[in-house]
Structure 1
Amino acid sequence: MFTLTQLTSFIAVAEELHFTRAAERLNMTQPPLSRQIQLLENEVGVLLLDRTNRSVRLTPAGRAFLVEARRILRQTEQATLAVRRVSTGEAGTIAVGFTAASAYSALGGLLETARAALPGVEILLQELVTRDQLKALAEGSLDLGLIRPSAVGADLTAHMVVREGLLAALPAQHPLAAGTEPVRVEDFAGEDFLMYSPVEARYFHELLVSIFRAAQVRPVFTQYLTQVHSILALVNGGWGIALVPESAARMRFAGIVFRPVALPEPNPVELNIVWRKGNENPALEALLRHM
């Protein structure tokens, strides 16, 4: 197989059509240059240069090979540049997990940062609940996660990126939808309530249970669901009322009225960004610096 040195030597001679000038261009003497050309011709099995004491000309095979030699060198240079960009985090991929609700808050800002600061980096998105993101982060199939507060192992780093309040999501015809003051937690007593799953949506389930317990209120939990958009779809259909993150109000449902809720902690909903310590993905390191 021919070498890049042989290709470079051939291109120089083919463009100069003079061995001495080509050798000067390559900062070498003529005998080693002639040797590189001979090795190349032996490798490809054809005569590439027709040379006499007075002139050097490309053979038909040499003209065709010159096109390919230039293409190979360009590809080599591009590959070298691509590898360098990956090593500095300017290129590559970042696998990002997100919860459905985070798509309406932090995810957009994260993607805008990545697009502006690292246009050569591809973001691979996966919608996963917090539990599944933590598993994927531990296995290495995710680089970064947007999760609800959860117990994370010592191998993970977590930082809070969003704190927001809760809104009451009410069917438009519900009596509480007509008020102007914030809804009280006590107003949920005895109401048909769409609750979060204690397993797949554990964070929201435990948050709401603690709020109702503190207010000594018992709604009637009619369904247990995982995703905010599924809860809103049922609210829209008149199946009950719900509490959802403020950012969920960006989902437009004609049959839903969103009302603020009076809570002891006005912004109890948190969202964390988390990644595995020791992750050697240069693109992840670059994104974290820009964030």
Structure 2
Amino acid sequence: MFSIGCAIGMIELRQLRYLIAAAHSGSFSRAARTLNIKQATLSRHILEVEQRLGITLFDRKTRGATLTPNGQRYLRTARRIVKEFEELNAWVRETRDGENGRLAIGFYTSFSAGNLRATLTEFSDRFPNIQVRGFERDRQMLLAGIENGLLDIVIMIGEVRYHHLRSRSFWSERILVAMPESHPLASRERIHWTDLTGERFLLTERDPGPETRNMLLSKLWMPGYTPEIDMDDIGRDTVLSAIALGGRVSIVAESALGIQVPGVVFREVHESNGHIRIGFSGYWREDNDNAVLHRFLEFVADRYSLPPLSGQQQSSHQTGKEMP
């Protein structure tokens, strides 16, 4: 039992609760009924507190009990102690259960729209006591952040496996082509890969530019034809601004829809079986014991109706190299 030390003895926390209940009820009998204990038990504990303090806290009357002036002063402190102790217990419980604390998330996709933005917004609304911090970096810096413990989890495109990291697929987004509104293809609601043959593409050298380039090569390359792809060291917003000037198009995930650039339109890219989607996965250290991380993983699984995380679902990352 938690106790409060003083020069003349130890006052138990439950005794302070008895005192507060008696003061609130104005009657030992009513307070005992509220606390679901015997009146004799409550009276005995309050008398014990008075004896240890050497002061009278209550005036006992036939029809009830009222606080003495000393009792009123003592009650103010007792209420503060009980309130702070209960707040401390709540904090410990919420921290242990992953409802209080911090979560550091790394990513390199756009945060202007899409599932990442929607997920983090809803997570923060559901758990307002959790501080979520986001870090936008390239893939290698994100992986380094996981390794050195600066990040709890990173969310990246694809399903690459890395040594000593666990991972799971999270969600997918549509692939879009961004083009000038004056482009001949802008009048179409959907675009097929074959429609993009002969186009000049502009991508960022930064992530996910290299992945997008590989996708374009796999979809458009054919004997005698290699798509023309410009890779510039610019951000995704600058890419779209350059697209508005005309002459080039770009490939983006639907999370980029939140970036409003005058003169740029987006159209879905389709294959024979429907529009194309690209997957996003989460990566974290196996030995990360942050309860908030596990709360976030449970939240994502529930939001996207994902299967339970298997104990064998482990990926790897070692010195930045992919597994063979």
Structure 1 residue 126: Cα displacement = 0.8
User: Residue 197 and residue 33 in structure 1: after superposition, are their counterparts in 2 closer, same or farther (change >3 A)?
Assistant: same
CA distance in 2, matches of 1:50, 1:199: 71
| Contact 1:6 1:37 (C-alpha < 8 Å) held by counterparts | no
CA deviations over 1:150-195 (Å, ceiling 9, x no partner): 755332222222334533322223455456763634222xx3x422
Structure 1 residue 67: Cα displacement = 1.9
CA distance in 1, matches of 2:202, 2:89: 56
Match of 2:239 in 1: 231
Structure 1 residue 134: Cα displacement = 2.1
Equivalent in 3, 27, 39 of residue 41 of structure 2: 27
Match of 1:89 in 2: 98
Structure 1 residue 141: Cα displacement = 2.8
Q: Which moved more, 1:8-17 or 1:271-280?
A: 8-17
Q: How does 1:225-264 map to 2 (within 5 A)?
A: 225=234, 227-238=235-246, 240-261=248-269
CA distance in 2, matches of 1:146, 1:218: 29
CA distance in 2, matches of 1:202, 1:25: 75
Structure 1 residue 242: Cα displacement = 1.7
User: Which structure features the higher share of helix residues?
Assistant: 1
* Gaps in structure 1 of 5+ consecutive residues: 42-46
User: Residue 174 and residue 270 in structure 1: after superposition, are their counterparts in 2 closer, same or farther (change >3 A)?
Assistant: same
| Contact 2:204 2:231 (C-alpha < 8 Å) held by counterparts | no
| Contact 1:195 1:221 (C-alpha < 8 Å) held by counterparts | yes
User: Residue 264 and residue 270 in structure 1: after superposition, are their counterparts in 2 closer, same or farther (change >3 A)?
Assistant: farther
CA distance in 2, matches of 1:160, 1:50: 64
Structure 1 residue 136: Cα displacement = 2.2
Match of 1:37 in 2: 50
Structure 1 residue 223: Cα displacement = 2.8
* 2:280 partner amino acid: L
CA distance in 2, matches of 1:57, 1:163: 66
Match of 2:319 in 1: none
| Contact 1:185 1:217 (C-alpha < 8 Å) held by counterparts | no
Match of 2:120 in 1: 111
Structure 1 residue 256: Cα displacement = 1.1
Equivalent in 169, 186, 189 of residue 178 of structure 2: 169
Match of 1:126 in 2: 134
Q: Which moved more, 1:70-79 or 1:2-11?
A: 2-11
* 1:245 partner amino acid: A
| Contact 2:104 2:150 (C-alpha < 8 Å) held by counterparts | yes
CA distance in 2, matches of 1:100, 1:268: 14
Q: How does 1:269-284 map to 2 (within 5 A)?
A: 269-284=278-293
* Gaps in structure 2 of 5+ consecutive residues: 302-324
Report the secondary structure of 2:142's partner residue.
Answer: helix
- Runs of 4+ in structure 1 over 6 Å off: 15-18, 54-57, 262-266
Structure 1 residue 270: Cα displacement = 2.8
Structure 1 residue 128: Cα displacement = 1.3
User: Residue 163 and residue 35 in structure 1: after superposition, are their counterparts in 2 closer, same or farther (change >3 A)?
Assistant: closer
Report the secondary structure of 2:232's partner residue.
Answer: strand
Match of 2:212 in 1: 204
Report the secondary structure of 1:27's partner residue.
Answer: helix
CA distance in 1, matches of 2:39, 2:269: 77
**Pairing 1:146–2:151 present:** no
CA deviations over 1:233-289 (Å, ceiling 9, x no partner): 221244743222244234333301334446699636332122221322223323322
Structure 1 residue 83: Cα displacement = 1.7
CA distance in 1, matches of 2:149, 2:39: 49
The TM-score normalised by the length of structure 1 is 0.72
Match of 1:44 in 2: none
Counting aligned pairs with the same residue, the percent is 23
Report the secondary structure of 1:111's partner residue.
Answer: helix
Equivalent in 281, 285, 294 of residue 285 of structure 1: 294
Structure 1 residue 220: Cα displacement = 5.6
Match of 2:145 in 1: 136
Q: Which moved more, 1:1-10 or 1:94-103?
A: 1-10
Q: Which moved more, 1:67-76 or 1:235-244?
A: 235-244
Match of 2:88 in 1: 79
User: Residue 78 and residue 208 in structure 1: after superposition, are their counterparts in 2 closer, same or farther (change >3 A)?
Assistant: same
CA distance in 2, matches of 1:89, 1:125: 15
Match of 1:160 in 2: 169
Match of 2:198 in 1: 187
User: Residue 99 and residue 237 in structure 1: after superposition, are their counterparts in 2 closer, same or farther (change >3 A)?
Assistant: same
| Contact 2:170 2:282 (C-alpha < 8 Å) held by counterparts | yes
CA distance in 1, matches of 2:50, 2:75: 13
Q: Which moved more, 1:177-186 or 1:83-92?
A: 177-186
Structure 1 residue 50: Cα displacement = 7.7
